[in-house]
């Protein structure tokens, strides 16, 4: 089958087959972690995140919001810091995520980025974000922009998340919430509903097969090479 592919390692090659995507479905509620990017007293990214969490709960999910106040800057404290441990535990617990940031100077905020920077690509042999779903949102102080959601998509790819196609950008966010912090009816609200619906669908579709979806040939080969290096090193000693 692989005679014309001399560079391919057949023992580490997996042909995608329909049966690999079948199996028992999880019965528990989808576990969704929500992150926001501002510690202001009236934070519109937090208000939007809370609105998203209400929708997710109504759609049958178990949402949890991480509040970043008190989280130290990356490398400015140890990994045993309580807020770091809380964040990493929630990352491991989640099956899907929502990231929401204001746009500040044309980019996501340091508050949001610091949360991701505290989560390494791997913790031991466990990748806390790999194969989980992601929805991205941003709030704008002026006209609608997509700089932040575009950055969040790149960051999600780096963390090996499965980012859903839909997204939300709320222009003039200060005018979209009432005095009680609830979002007013508008096309922006309707888009949040769209995004949370889509996140739920993709999470339900992928959460039981995510290990297969992100299983990489290059890493299977690399594992073999690493084992060979250790054996050879032992022989040399």
Domains of the chain by range and CATH? 27-236 (3.40.50.360)
Whole-number Å distance between alpha carbons of 210 and 229? 29
The answer to which of 2-11, 31-40, 48-57, 97-106 has the lowest mean pLDDT is 2-11
Per-residue pLDDT reduced to its tens digit, 198-213: 999 999 999 999 888 8
Whole-number Å distance between alpha carbons of 236 and 228? 12
Q: Are 201 and 213 in contact (CB under 8 A)?
A: no
The pTM of this model reads: 0.89
> How many whole angstroms from its chain centre is CA 234?
39
Task: Please say if the pLDDT value at position 45 is more than 90.
Answer: yes
DSSP 184-210: PSSHHHHHHHHHHHHHHHHHHHHTTTH
How would you label 47-70 residue by residue, b for 16+ Cβ within 10 Å and e otherwise?
Answer: bbbbbbbebbeebebbbebbebee
Judged on CB neighbours under 10 Å (0-12, 13-18, 19+), 152 is buried
**Length of the chain, please?**
237
């Amino acid at each position: 089958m692989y005679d014309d592919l001399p560079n391919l390692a057949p023992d580490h090659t997996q042909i995608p087959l329909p049966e690999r995507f079948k199996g028992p479905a999880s019965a528990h509620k989808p576990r969704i972690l929500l992150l926001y990017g501002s510690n202001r007293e009236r934070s519109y990214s937090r208000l939007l995140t809370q609105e998203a969490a209400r929708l997710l709960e109504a759609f049958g999910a178990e949402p949890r919001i991480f509040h970043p106040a008190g989280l130290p800057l990356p490398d400015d404290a140890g990994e045993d810091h309580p807020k770091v441990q809380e964040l990493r535990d929630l990352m491991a617990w989640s099956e899907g995520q929502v990231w929401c940031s204001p746009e500040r100077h044309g980019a996501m905020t340091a508050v949001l980025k610091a949360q991701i920077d505290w989560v390494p690509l791997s913790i031991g042999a466990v990748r806390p974000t790999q194969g989980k779903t992601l929805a991205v949102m941003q709030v704008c102080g002026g006209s609608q922009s997509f700089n932040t959601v575009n950055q969040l998509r790149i960051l999600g790819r780096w963390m090996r998340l499965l980012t859903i196609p839909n997204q939300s950008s709320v222009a003039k966010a200060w005018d979209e919430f009432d005095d009680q912090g609830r979002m007013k009816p508008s096309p922006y609200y309707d888009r949040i509903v769209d995004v949370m619906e889509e996140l739920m669908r993709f999470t339900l579709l992928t959460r039981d097969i995510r290990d297969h979806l992100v299983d990489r040939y290059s890493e299977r080969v690399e594992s073999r090479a690493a084992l060979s290096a250790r054996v050879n090193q032992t022989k040399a000693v």
